[in-house]
Amino acid sequence: MTIKSIINFFAVVKENKSLQRKAQMAADVETIVEMARECNLNFTSTELQSFLEKTPNQDLASKVNPGIGNRLHVSPR
């Protein structure tokens, strides 16, 4: 369920420009976890960090960045 919550959070971020800006400006994973809680999605910073480490940059970029195709220049790490 945790991975699903993380993926759902990235889907919400992808659709919300305000959240996109906040996520891109986030200083650490704790900030992202707090943003997720505000969206009623729960996961820990450890779970998020593990997910980020296991997911290729290309996949992360496609989850966060709007537009067509994968853009590798922006990563939520």
Instruction: Please write the tens of the pLDDT for every residue from 1-36.
Output: 688 999 899 899 989 999 989 988 988 999 999 999
Report residue 18 CA to chain centroid gap: 13
φ, ψ of residue 57 to 5 degrees: the values are -55, -40
Give the pTM. Answer: 0.72
Q: What tokens appear for 36 in the block?
A: 């997720």
Parse the chain into domains and list their residue ranges: 2-64
